[in-house]
Amino acid sequence: MKKRIKFGGMAKCISYNGTKIEKHYRHIFKSDKYVIELLKEFDLLDEMLWNKTKMAYYSKDGLYEFGTPTSLLKYKPLSFIEKIRFGFSVIKIKLINDYKKIERYTAEQWVIKNCGENVYKKTWEPLLFSKFGNNKDKISMAWLWGKIKLRGSSSEADGERLGYLNGSYERLTQKIEKYLLKNNCKIKTSEEVKSVSKDGRKYVVETSNESKEFDYVVSTVSYDISKKILKDVLSSEEINKMNNLKYTCAKTLLIFSKKSFSPFYWINIGCDYIPFGGIIEHTNMIDCNEYGGAHLIYVSNYMDKNDRLYALDEKQLFEEYNKYLKEIGNGFDDGDIIELKCFEEDCAQPVITTNYSHNILDIQMKENGIFMANMAQIYPEDRGMNYAIKMGYEVAANIIMNERLD
């Protein structure tokens, strides 16, 4: 049951020039085995595009290619010794196999200790701020470990290869939807779940349209919503854990332009005066001819829901961003813009604090028929499609096991 009209969650798409494109930028890594296996199962793996991409970092000193040993040596904001320390710290992170050894440290503490304060200030701190805002100094090193460990699997000496499904990932979600319907699953959209209660051995699900009984209930929505819907079947300990978690919201501006913004797929923003965190030019991974020659540029931002930018529409948001886009993109001209789109997600990024594993919820609640599977439970890996699929398998395995024991 879904409150929203369409199937697909955060992987939902819009149409542009006859081609589907995700509302929020999307790619996969070579290590994303659960996505890859699912693509293979639905005969889509041969249609994956694994293209080489380039990453850059924008600092007060300018725009620098970033992400390879050669580009690191050319990164002027750091001294030679700092570059060496930065490089060795990345190697050290990749060699760590047990995240629990570092989850008690904040990313700030660990990076400063291993690289020095200037490396932290000129590389990692702006990125943490763009993702978590004022919570940047509370973020566990385990989160940064997960990002670097994961991304390193797609890196090569001269760049990075990322995967994209030709025609958008909506092709995968549509195949999943058809499979479910064919196997007697009922998918109800535009039907908001109001509450879940227990009646004997059954769970009563009240929606905006009806009341129905089920043997099991699986919630895939955020903690903020789950704790309201499931309050009658959760323990006080489970509700407290949910209350302890904070989220940041995602605000994505999608620009359709006549011209490319830069030669880079991904630009991380390292300036605290710029009000967004990243620029992802989708058409530097996928040919712009797939979209009628338009260049697709995502401007990514994470923020608190009360941030004034979160309430702005696409035109207002572009006005806020425009002068900074011109500063970063040499030759960027708003006269080249064809169209603007803007999308939001209220609970996009859980705030991963130190010792997060102590506060994470199990998939199965104390009430045996209630299951939880959402992004806040993906840890220490960063949330994404791959680990959402993995969690789905785990929930299914738990329910099957319960049925055998019953």
Tokens linked to 249: 């919201």
pLDDT of residue 232: 97
**pLDDT given at position 1:** 60
Average pLDDT over all residues of the chain: 93
Which CATH number fits the domain that encloses residue 281? 3.50.50.60
Structural domain containing residue 166: 1-191+247-350
Let me know if residue 55 belongs to a domain: yes
For 327, the token pair is 């500063």
CA angle 36, 92, 121 (to 5 degrees): 100
Residue pair 66/57 in contact (Cβ under 8 Å)? The answer is: yes
- Residue 99: pLDDT above 60? yes
Tell me whether residue 79 is in a domain. Answer: yes
pLDDT single digits (tens) 184-204: 999 988 889 999 999 999 999
Residue 290 falls inside a structural domain: yes
Residue 47 lies in a domain: yes
Residue 330 confidence class, pLDDT cut points 50, 70, 90 = confident
pLDDT of amino acid 174: 94
Q: Is the model more confident about 200 or about 2?
A: 200
pLDDT above 90 as % of the chain? 84
Domain count, the chain: 1
Whether residue 29 is contained in a domain is answered as yes
Name the amino acid, one letter, at 358: H
Find out whether 372 and 233 touch, Cβ atoms under 8 Å.
Answer: no
pTM (predicted TM-score): 0.93
Residue 241 in any domain: the answer is no
Q: Identify the helix (H) or strand (E) that includes residue 74.
A: none
Q: Kindly report, residue by residue over 199-229, the tens digit of the pLDDT.
A: 999 999 999 999 999 999 999 999 999 999 9
Question: Does 270 reside within a domain?
Answer: yes
